[in-house]
A and B are shown apart, each in its own frame.
Chain A
Amino acid sequence: MIYKETGQYKSSYKSDHAIFPLIQDKIAFSTLMFIAFLVIPFVINSYWEKAILVPFLIFSLAAIGLNILTGYCGQVSLGTGGFMAVGAFSTYKIMTYFPDMNIMIIILISGLITAGVGILFGLPSLRIKGFYLAVATLAAQFFLVWLFNKVPWFYNYSDTGQITVSERLMFGIPVTGASAPPYATYLFCLVLVVLLGFAAKNLIRSKIGRSWMAIRDMDIAAEIIGVPPLKTKLSAFAISSFYIGVAGALYFAVFLGAIEVTESFDIMTISFPVLFMIIIGGLGSMLGSFLGAAFIVTLPIGLKFVMVDMVGMSAVTAKHFEITIWGLLMIIFLIVEPHGLARLWSIAKEKLRRWPFPY
C-alpha cells in the first residue's frame, strides 16, 4: 500500500533508467536530503558532529570505496587502513607545500594520489585471487603504515611523529582545525559524500560498473566475452582507492585534526571495521555502504551508553564486553542475514508494498 509501484508508467528510456524510478523513492530521498542539508546544520552540536555524523559520513565514503572493489569487482582487500593513511598524509604534505590551495582541491588531489598507490598495489590482483589477494593487500597495509611511521619526510620531521592539520577556510568559514564550527565540518563532508556517492552510483550503472560485475561473477568468462581484465581490475583498484583516499583525507583533516599513523590507521581500527561495514550493510549495494557505516559507527556508542551509563561498569570492562558483543553480533549477523542490511531493506520494501492488505 505504502510502497506500491502500480500506476507509475514510464514513457521514455530516460525515466526508465532513473536512479530512483519510483516516486516513493524520490520522495524519501528528497526528504532525506532536505533534512541532511537544511535541518541538521541548524541543530547540530559538537557531540553529534564528533561522535556520530562526521564519522558516519567519512566511513560511508570509505565503505563505498571498498564496496566498489570488493562488492562490485570481487577483489577482497584488507588494506583500507593503509590507503586511508595515503590520503591523510598526501593532504598533510600538500597543505604544507601549498598553503594557499583550497582545501577541497587538496582533498581531491589526495584522492588521486591514493588512486595511483592503489593501482600499484592492485597489480598483483592480475595474477592472484581470493584469499591470496586478501593477504597480498595486507602487505600494502603494513608497508604503508610502516612507511609513514618511519620515514620522517612524511611527517615533516616532527618529534612526535604526529601530523597536525592547520586551519583552512571554505567560503570564509573554517572547515579544518580546532575552531571549525560543527555545521561547517558536517556540511563539508556531506557535500563530498553526496557528490561522490552520486558519481559512484552512476559509475556502477555504466559500462565500467558492468564490467566490474562481470569480472566479479566469473573472470574467465568475462575475459572471453571481451572484458579486459587488466583495465577492469586496475580501474576498480584506482576508483576504490580514490574514494578511500578522500575518506582518509577527511578523517585526518576534518575529523581528527591530529593523527599518529600506527594508532589511527591500524588494521584493527580501520581495515576490519570497514570490511564489516560492507558485509553487514550488503556486498555490492550502495545503500548497504551507508547502512553498514551507520551501524558500525553507532554500535559502540550504544553499547557504551548501556554498559557504562546504565549498568555502571568501568570503562575497561565495558571495552572488553564491547569487543565480545561486537564479535558475537558479527557472527549472528552472518548466520541470520549473510546478504546484509540492504537485503533486509529490500525484504521490508516487499512487505510494505502489500501492507496492511495481504492480497
Chain B
Amino acid sequence: MIFLVDFLSAVVNGISMGAIYGLIALGLTLIFGIMRIINFAHGALLMLSMMVGYWIWKFSGVNPYLMIIVVAPIMFCFGYFVQRVFIKPVLDAQKDVREPIAVLLLTAALAIVFENLALMVFGADYVMAKTTVTDATIALGGITVSAARFYALILALVIAYAFYLFLQHTELGRRLRACGQDRNTALLMGIDGPKTFAIAFGIGTALLTVAAIVLLPFYYVHPTVGNVFMTKAFIVVVLGGLGSVPGALLGGIIIGLIESIGAQYMTATLTTVVVYLVFLLILFVKPSGLFGSRLEW
C-alpha cells in the first residue's frame, strides 16, 4: 500500500512538471507552426518573463498568480516588438526560402543578447520568489503535492484549453492557422501577414509568461535559467507534433512522467537517457510526432 502511495506521488509530480514543460512548449510550437521559425530565444524569453515577474513581485508583493495580468501584456508587447524590429527584416529578406535559416541564427543571437543583458542588469545571483504558496502543500488522500505545482497544473490545463478554443473559434485564431497552413495563399486571401506574425510572436511570448509565473514560487531565477527548460521544450514540440496544441501538452506530460517515475527505479541522471530513447522510438514509429500533421492547424 505504501508502495502505491509513493508511486502515485511520483505520478502526480510528473504530470504537474510535465504540464509546465507543455506550457513552455506551447509558445514554441505556436511560433513554429505559424512562422516556421525555430525560436532559439525561447529560453531567454522565459528567463526575461521570470525576471520581470520576480521584480514586480518583489516591489509590489501581490499574489504571484495575479501578476499574469500585468506581466503577460508586457511580454506580449515585447514579443510583438522583437518580431517587428528584429525578425521581420530578416524574414522579408528570406521570403522565398521555405525554412529561413538566417532567422534561426538571429534568434540564437537574441538569446545571447538577452542573457547577457540580464546578467548586466540583474547580476548573476540566484533569486527565488518566496511567496505564500512556496512551501504550502496539498494533501490528496495520503499523497502530498506541492501547492505551487498543483496550481501550475491547473493553470496549464486551463490556458492550453483556452488557447485551443481561441485558435479554433475566433477570427484571429483562424487567421493565425491560415498563415500556418500556407503563408502565400493566406496572403493572397487578404490576410495581413507581417501583422499576424507579430501577433503570433506576441502570443507565444505571453503564453511563456504564464509558464514563467507558475515557476516563480518554486524555482530559482537566474540569467541562464532558460537553458534548463529549453532543450526539453524542443523535445516536447517535436514529440507532440510541430504546431500542435494538444501535442505540446501531452508531450510535456509524457516527459514529466518519464522523469518522475523513472527516477524511482534508476538514477536521476539515467532518466535523461530514457527520455531520449522514448523520443527516438516515437519518431521511428510516427516521424511527424504524436499529433503531427500538416493540416492540424
- A, B assembled together: no
